[in-house]
């Protein structure tokens, strides 16, 4: 079994959280680039993770504030999977990962940083991305800034949508 070491996540876990729900507040602000929102669908939006496990780590998030998958209309379920597929294709085209982790963390003990608003993570993975730096040095290597990655992904997504 391979482990994804992310000791830097403790900074987020221990940080003081603003009141409200970031997944409700961010799309309402209409500042997509600043808030790292890459795409808006009918039921969900795609946002980059501000505390990524790897470059290109993004999430598919419903606009509706819900902590569970139960009670979703089939259109909502379908769009979440379609957007996850779009994210995988986008990352394949722009960052060429060797694989992916996709997952929904439900509840605090399930790993959710925002436990009351469900979201799906799409994490690109490369051979060797759990090298000695995070394991021995408690240091992660993120080779590109969030804004540069956002611009690269947004430009490629705009090109994909034209086709």
Cα gap 122→104, rounded to integer Å: 9
What are 38-56's pLDDT values in tens digits?
999 999 999 999 888 888 9
User: In this predicted model, what pLDDT tens digit does every residue of 14-42 receive, in sequence order?
Assistant: 777 667 899 999 999 999 999 999 999 99
Q: What is the pLDDT of residues 56-70, one digit of tens each?
A: 999 999 999 999 999
Cα 34–chain centre separation: 15
Q: 163: exposed, middle or buried (C-beta count within 10 Å: 0-12, 13-18, 19+)?
A: exposed
Residues paired with residue 61 on neighbouring β-strands, in sequence order: 45
Cβ-contact 94, 156 below 8 angstroms: yes
Token pair for 142: 């993120």
Fold (CATH) for 20-162 = HIT family, subunit A (3.30.428)
The verdict on pTM exceeding 0.85 is: no
Annotated catalytic residue: which of 57, 117, 119, 121? Answer: 119
What pLDDT does residue 136 have?
38
Helices (H) and strands (E) in the chain, counts: 5, 5
CA–CA dist 70, 78 (Å, integer):
14
Catalytic (active site) residue 121: no
């Amino acid at each position: 079994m391979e482990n994804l070491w992310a000791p830097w996540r403790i900074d987020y876990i221990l940080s003081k959280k603003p009141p409200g729900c970031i997944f409700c507040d961010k799309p309402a602000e209409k500042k997509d680039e600043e808030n790292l929102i890459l795409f808006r669908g009918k039921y969900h939006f795609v946002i980059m993770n501000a505390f990524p496990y790897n470059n290109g780590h993004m999430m598919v998030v419903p606009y509706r504030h819900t902590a569970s998958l139960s009670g979703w209309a089939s259109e909502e379920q379908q769009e979440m999977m379609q957007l996850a597929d779009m994210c995988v294709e986008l990352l394949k085209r722009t960052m060429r990962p060797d694989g992916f982790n996709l997952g929904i963390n439900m509840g605090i003990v399930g790993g959710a940083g925002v436990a009351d608003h469900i979201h799906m993570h799409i994490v690109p993975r490369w051979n060797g991305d759990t090298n000695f730096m995070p394991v021995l040095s408690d240091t992660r290597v993120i080779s590109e800034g969030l804004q540069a990655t956002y611009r690269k992904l947004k430009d490629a997504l705009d090109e994909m949508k034209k086709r």
